[in-house]
Amino acid sequence: MEVMILSYLGPSARCEWGLTAAQESTLTSMVFLGMTLGAPVWGMVSDTWGRKTSFGLATLFATVFGFATAAAPNFAAMAVFRTLVGFGIPGAVVAFNLLLELTPTRLRGMFAVGIEGFWTIGTILQAGFAFGLLNKYGWRLLVVVSTIPYVVLLLLLPLVPESPRYLLVKGKTEQAQAVLKKVMRVSRADMPEGQLQPLLAGDDSSCKVAEDEPKGCGWLLRKLAASAGNVWLALKQMLGPRLWMTTLTLVFTWMVAAFVYYGLVTLLTHVDFVKGASKQCINGKLVLPREDLVGILITSSAEVPGLLFSLVIVACLGRKLAFALPMVAIAVVLVPLMAGATGPVVGGIQVGVVVCMYLSRFFIYSSFNILWAMTPEYYPTSIRNFGLGVNNAFSRIGGLLSPFAAVNARQDAAWHAAPEAIFAALSLVAGAAVLLLPPDKKGKALDDCIEDVTEVPELQRRVSSLVHSRAGSSGSSSWQQGAAAGAGQQQQQQQQRAAGGAAGVGGVAADEQPQLTEQGSEQALLQRIM
């Protein structure tokens, strides 16, 4: 809902305060600036303080400044408030990762894509709210109504559990045990006997558990200092020999996907769904033609079949191909708009414009869903939230730039269809770039530590071999040495887990679970819910 409302806030503020096109674009971009700053922060808080704590704080942040936006007296105040709302929005990523860490391997892709259905519901609701409220009551009431769901989230927060996988990685076995008991009680299932054990890790492991520290004077400062150290360590791991090309490829695809998605959303109030009709400012209030509001509502509904489409192709084609094909399709469906083919007019609406915008929203939403499902799988548990947060932050840079393509390029460029051409070209590039990633993680266990990461992109292997060949190195590359050690450690852990007698429940592989006692009865429980 917060993204869809950007389509209305910019033009509304332009009418009320007489903003220029550049100021309108800047107002929209400020939300993405806040998202860029907030994404790694909430990821760091989540990996250090817990998933539930991070999610609650981020939701509270967005709630307070969401209501403040409705009372903004001028452009400057609104820009500040929207930046702070944007800072809190990435907290939703924490809940996304929490779901993945509670989902069986065989269902992880489906759940990761399926949860995006609530994004679709919010998008359609926002378009519906605008249809009923914008012209009659103005943008301020629309903002208030759009912020109310945050209040509902805060009220439901006590029902959200902490991630047992996160607790085990942090060595908090008693808390993990308590969460599992609660999950089994709610599920009306019997709790197996046995005790969980923290993840086995050596002294040099990225998953090494810190010893408990008594809380007292200075504890908070030490915790913050430790968090800063964790950020540096996580960045080193993301750009280290195991993950550097994976990270760079994901960052690029996230930036382009966000640029295209948010650009198309912003473009909705600037395309002409009605031939010859124009948006009007009456007494400082934006008034959109009814046909435009209908066209926006129709094109927003494209995310419903887009979600279903992504659920099907992620199961049939795997992650990478499921992302690439819709990105190529976006370029194809935007060609008629670039050519000025608006199609027949039905009920005052240009059908060709509606169809092209509908299909472009359909495909970009599908690709974005796949990206959300694919990215967390490439990072180990120890930095998963931070890794997704960093990619999410870079995607906001794409979102930050998108209004200047959707608004300014349309008004300032000699070619009226310049925005569509930009979106089409970048979609093609991103669709090709994602093929550089390592093999799909579909149906495979999630890695817990950086030492477990043993697959890298083929291009990275070739670059590494070329560098070492030219350097006259006769030994293995640093990645190959690390991968061999990681593979050995992973094989040893798998043997230990197998010795526990845990064959997996519901088709979930045992090698994705945190380390358990050799009795193994509790491991079956983890396999059932993780």
Q: Which residue has the higher pLDDT, 68 or 393?
A: 68
Tell me, what's the pLDDT at 277? 58
Amino acid at 337: L
Instruction: Please determine, for residue 272, whether its predicted confidence score (pLDDT) is greater than 80.
Output: no
| Average confidence (pLDDT) over 123-145 | 88
Q: How many CB atoms lie within 10 A of CB 388?
A: 27
Of 207-211, 299-303, 423-427, 440-444, the least confident:
207-211
378 alpha carbon, distance to own chain's centre: 14
Instruction: Please determine, for residue 317, whether its predicted confidence score (pLDDT) is greater than 60.
Output: yes
Tell which phi-psi region holds residue 362, choosing left (phi > 0), alpha (psi between -120 and 50) or beta. alpha
Q: Which residue has the higher pLDDT, 483 or 265?
A: 265
Rounded-to-integer distance, Cα 428 and Cα 424, Å: 7
Confidence of residue 515 (pLDDT cuts 50, 70, 90): very low
Tell me, what's the pLDDT at 278? 62
Q: Which residue has the higher pLDDT, 397 or 2?
A: 397
Tell me, what's the pLDDT at 486? 47
Tell me, what's the pLDDT at 508? 33
Three-state DSSP class for 280?
Answer: strand
Q: Could you tell me what percent of the chain has a pLDDT over 90? A: 18
Q: Give the β-pairing of 285-287 and 280-282.
A: antiparallel
Rounded-to-integer distance, Cα 199 and Cα 95, Å: 23
Q: Which residue has the higher pLDDT, 469 or 357?
A: 357
Which residues neighbour 131 within 8 Å (Cβ) at sequence distance 6 or greater?
293, 294, 296, 297
| Average confidence (pLDDT) over 244-257 | 92
Taking 3-state DSSP, the helix, strand and coil percentages for the chain, each rounded to the nearest 5, stand at: 70, 0, 25
**Could you report the per-residue pLDDT of 183-204, keeping only the tens digit for each?**
778 777 777 676 766 655 444 4
Q: Which residue has the higher pLDDT, 43 or 141?
A: 141
User: HSE-up of 110 (CA within 13 Å, CB side)?
Assistant: 9
Tell me, what's the pLDDT at 325? 94
Instruction: Please determine, for residue 253, whether its predicted confidence score (pLDDT) is greater than 70.
Output: yes
Instruction: Please determine, for residue 239, whether its predicted confidence score (pLDDT) is greater than 80.
Output: yes
Rounded-to-integer distance, Cα 472 and Cα 31, Å: 50
Q: Which residue has the higher pLDDT, 441 or 512?
A: 441
Q: How is residue 155 written in tokens?
A: 């009220």
Rounded-to-integer distance, Cα 423 and Cα 357, Å: 12
